Amino acid sequence: MNIDKDWIYSTNIYEVNLRQYTPEGSFNAFGQHLGRLHDMGVKTLWFMPITPIAQKEKKGSLGSYYACSDYTSINPEFGTLEDFKALVKKAQGLGMKVIIDWVANHTGWDHVWTRTHPDWFEKDPATGDFKRASGMDDIIELDFTKPAMRKAMIEAMAFWVRECGIDGFRCDLAFWVELDFWQEAIPELNAAKPLFWLAESDPLDHPGYMQVFDAAYSWSWMHGTERFYREGRPLGELVGILDRYLSAPGLQAWFTSNHDENSWNGSEYEKYGDAALALAVHSLTWPGLPLIYSGQELPNRKRLLFFDKDIIDWNGEPQLHGFYKTLLELKARHPALDARSEIFRLYTSSDANVLAYLRKKGADEVMVLLNLSPNHVRFDVLSSWVGGDFTEVFGRYGQDLSLNKRFEMKAWEYRVFAKDAGTV
């Protein structure tokens, strides 16, 4: 990773569903939330696609963010280009980074290129028309064997860097696009400004993409945790998945919800029930980058409609603001939670119930205990080399682990202990 992008190792990502965020659904209305998000500790804002939505074959009343009709224009639903520029400037003024969703694999049916360059699209041999994307009727596939199209795509991405000063891209279905396109595009775009590249891909399934992307999704973990909670699978299965990620290339983004999961498979409370917050603690303390979706700080317990207006109910102070603030600030300021720091699995007298691990960088340490079970458990941390004075970051009480490694935890309880109080 380029040294100019060291900020990535201590960042976090907050996904913005602009349409559903406010009644207005605009850049300007979302801007009123920046102060709250900054206070919560958000470092990187990821905006779902901000480009116009194709009207032909549109789904629902508003259509899909991911059916673009013009790569270098703003969706009028959200405001103007100047509004977006102002929002980026305001966010960056608070020390935040801004990345935008980029949908390279496909467009909507009436994208401007379907008129100006119809040869840039794949064709369906059965109909002679544009080829529909797999399983999605409102989008059509681009043909990445066309050098002119690839050049135009890269220039379209450069437009947002040049005109708005964004800091990177979240690349939708990155693994549906030929790797050699990203190998061409990413170095070229990074030459103008070192950018953050987040792939909607899983390094366990598509490790080659991590040659050029900085981070990718942890889909296998997400699916594994859902099976674990709903089917009562053994904790050892989750530990096995985590072991695989530790040897995977690049950084992983850890999450309990995002726009796809919330809308199509349910909120984290539908999927994980009482385990939701413990799994969120894992996302914020395991090596990699935590990803939070719009409204999780409320918490939002409903599925948000994808193609229609369905406003997040911001009713008073979000109940989990303090929960996320504690963990986000800990990650940002504690050296042990830098994505490059070491991690050690801790063995306990209740390994069938408890996931315990230590993050370490020099003398700085963070110990995480997650009771991932419906049982009230009493246990000892058996790793003898763990010791010293720690402070539990939620309860603010101290414990000398050189003298006392015994714990008692309620079902699905979480605890996070930090050594070196000066950093937290």
Q: What is the DSSP letter of 232?
A: T
**Pairing relation of β-strands 414-419 and 389-392?**
antiparallel
DSSP letter string, 255-280? -S--HHIIIII--HHHHHGGGHHHHH
Q: What is the pTM of this model?
A: 0.97
Q: 30 φ, ψ to 5°?
A: -65, -35
The answer, yes or no, to whether residue 195 has pLDDT greater than 80, is: yes
Rounded to whole angstroms, how far apart are CA atoms 399 and 402? Answer: 9
Mean pLDDT of the chain: 96
Rounded to whole angstroms, how far apart are CA atoms 332 and 340? Answer: 13
Question: Does residue 299 have a cis peptide bond before it, meaning omega lies within 30 degrees of 0?
Answer: yes
Say what percent of the chain tops pLDDT 90.
96
> CA nearest 93: which of 31, 150, 4?
31
- Residue 131: half-sphere exposure toward Cβ, Cα within 13 Å: 15
Rounded to whole angstroms, how far apart are CA atoms 407 and 284? Answer: 22
pLDDT in tens, 344-395: 999 999 999 999 999 999 999 999 999 999 999 999 999 999 999 999 999 9
**Pairing relation of β-strands 289-293 and 389-392?**
unpaired
Q: Would you say 12 and 293 are in contact if contact means Cβ atoms under 8 Å apart?
A: no
What value does the mean pLDDT take over residues 174-196? 97
pLDDT-based confidence at 257, cuts 50/70/90?
Answer: very high
Say what percent of the chain tops pLDDT 70.
98
pLDDT in tens, 273-295: 999 999 999 999 999 999 999 99
The answer, yes or no, to whether residue 424 has pLDDT greater than 60, is: no
Three-state secondary-structure class, residue 326: helix
10-25 per-residue burial string, b: 16 or more CB within 10 A, e: under 16: bbbbbbbbbbbbbeeb
pLDDT in tens, 63-122: 999 999 999 999 999 999 999 999 999 999 999 999 999 999 999 999 999 999 999 999
Helices (H), 41-128: 81-93, 112-116
Distance of CA 96 to the CA centre of its chain: 15
* Cβ neighbours around 232 below 10 Å, total: 9
> CA nearest 346: which of 275, 401, 277, 278?
401
Rounded to whole angstroms, how far apart are CA atoms 137 and 367? Answer: 48
Rounded to whole angstroms, what are the CA distances from 362 to 10, 49, 334, 420? 16, 41, 11, 11
H or E, element range at 254: strand 251-254
pLDDT in tens, 29-48: 999 999 999 999 999 999 99
Q: What does the pLDDT read at residue 397?
A: 93
